[in-house]
Amino acid sequence: MAESATSFKTYYGSILRQLWDSSKWFRTLLIITLVWATLRLIVQLVLTMTGGVGDQIGVDLVVHLTAAQHFLQHLDLYPKNLADLEGQFPYPPTYAFLITPLLWLPQQVTALIHFILHFVFYYLLFTQWAKIFRDWKMEKASQFLILSLPVWLVFSAFWDDVIYLNIYILLALFATLLIEATLKENLLQSSIWLTLILLTKPQWVFAAVIPLLLGRYRFFAKLLISSLAIYLALGLIALFAGGPAYVWGQYKDYISLLFRLGQDFPWRGPASGFLGYNHSIKQIFAYFLGVTPTNLIIATIVKIILLIPMAVIVIHRIIHPIRQLSLQIAAVLETALLIYLGAFIWLDIVWEASLAIAIFSYFMSVITNKTQKIIIIGVFMLYAIQDIWRLLIYAAGSPMINGAYLQWDYSMYIPTIMIVILTFYAVFVARLWPWHTRSQNNQIPTGQ
């Protein structure tokens, strides 16, 4: 294992040195973004330690801790009306129980720990994708991952997660670890990662479909059974800790909340003056066409139509599973990531697309059409630099709206996140479509 780690560092170290020596643009961008990220880190650390946690710093962490406190006090975890859903707890009751140990620490200490862990998780996310690309001999993807390092340093989804101290980057890491574990058919690791995802945001379970794409139905069945067993075991512990009546009642409220989101969510209409940071398709329809039952139904129909190509691709792959994984690893990865994007197209609340940074790095290695590359870079960078833009306009005196939105922030009016999701989704569909000429031999170019 030590040799493997050394080999890994040597492999990527040589790529970094080669790019550093051969590309003045890469050196310049890396230095600038390193300086920016360092200053950004220092500023955020000072704000986290001196500012009031919950006052625009660590807002989501406070929501989680409040839910844990409510669990111990047998109070309701979920709102009876959705007028203020943005500040409400969106996870299952078991998750609230599992984070109750955090209440033993002072809130400022908990915030500092979460702050540090965000950087650890983000580093692990980067190195995990580096490991996947290297292990499966995707050499160009490995090179472009290093080449995209300056973008990773400024990526807005990461810095937003640092500001609010949510778990989006952690979920992206869990999903990536699940991808690797299922590719290698490691049942224990796959079960652990899948269970942790189910306990938080079930829409991130997309990698669980990988065994079906490979025709490994027995492993898929074992994965489901073992993950559900762990999930139920943790649920039973929470049930005994909180009391059956209370926990069961909260689970019913949680399920009810999920079904009510599409109807009762406080959508922003044209009169609000801005779209907000929820960039879901339903919110886009509500903002530009008005909050009416008809428009919301049309938005749902549009989502279904958009997801039909994904359904065709996934069903085709399950019926015609991939047998030689080493030769067709790109097709497996792309199908799994297509499902990830499809899940976010379906969601009614879309705050981020954390895995888009890894997809962007991958696309740069496999897309050969210059026009497509320019479109992908332009669309993604508009999303990636949002954090930089917000800091600059905040420093320039941009007024706040509703105490949480910067008036001069373009992402409040343009659904940058959904534009990225739909663009990446369209590229994957074009590459994976079963009857595409490039797929005649059931293979996808890997950019090796």
Q: What is the pTM of this model?
A: 0.92
Q: Which of 330, 386, 344, 429 is nearest to 171 (CA)?
A: 344
Domain that holds residue 382: 11-439
Report pLDDT digits (tens) over 280-313: 999 999 999 999 999 999 999 999 999 999 999 9
Q: Is residue 334 part of a domain?
A: yes
Report pLDDT digits (tens) over 196-234: 999 999 999 999 999 999 999 999 999 999 999 999 999
DSSP, residue by residue, 239-288:
HHHH-HHHHHHHHHHHHHHHHHHHHHS----GGGSS--S---HHHHHHHH
Q: Is residue 447 part of a domain?
A: no
- What separation in angstroms does the CA of 354 have from each of 61, 88, 111, 228? 18, 21, 21, 26
Q: What share of residues in the chain are helix, strand, coil (percent, to 5)?
A: 75, 0, 25
CA 201, CA 167: separation in Å to the nearest integer? 10
Q: Is residue 3 part of a domain?
A: no
pLDDT of residue 83: 61
| Statement: residue 5 has pLDDT above 90 | no
Q: 27-58 b/e with 16+ CB inside 10 Å = b?
A: eebbeebeebbeebeeebeebbeeeebbeebb
Q: Regarding predicted confidence, which is higher, 107 or 332?
A: 332
Q: Regarding predicted confidence, which is higher, 61 or 447?
A: 61
CA 290, CA 401: separation in Å to the nearest integer? 20
- The answer to which of 174-183, 318-327, 374-383, 403-412 has the lowest mean pLDDT is 318-327
For residue 263, the tally of other CB atoms under 10 A from its CB is: 10
User: At a CB cut-off of 8 Å and minimum separation 6, what does 7 contact?
Assistant: none
Q: Is residue 280 part of a domain?
A: yes
Q: How confident is the model at residue 51 (pLDDT cuts 50, 70, 90)?
A: low
Q: Is residue 445 part of a domain?
A: no
Cα 204 to its chain centre, rounded Å, is 8
Report pLDDT digits (tens) over 321-374: 988 887 789 999 999 999 999 999 999 999 999 999 999 999 999 999 999 999
CA 39, CA 409: separation in Å to the nearest integer? 21
**Strand runs (DSSP E) across 267-337, as ranges?**
none
Q: Is residue 404 part of a domain?
A: yes
Number of domains into which the chain is organized = 1
Q: Is residue 392 part of a domain?
A: yes
DSSP, residue by residue, 384-407:
HTHHHHHHHHHHTTPPEETTTEET
Q: Regarding predicted confidence, which is higher, 112 or 426?
A: 426
Q: Is residue 4 part of a domain?
A: no
Which tokens in the block code for residue 18?
Answer: 């080669």
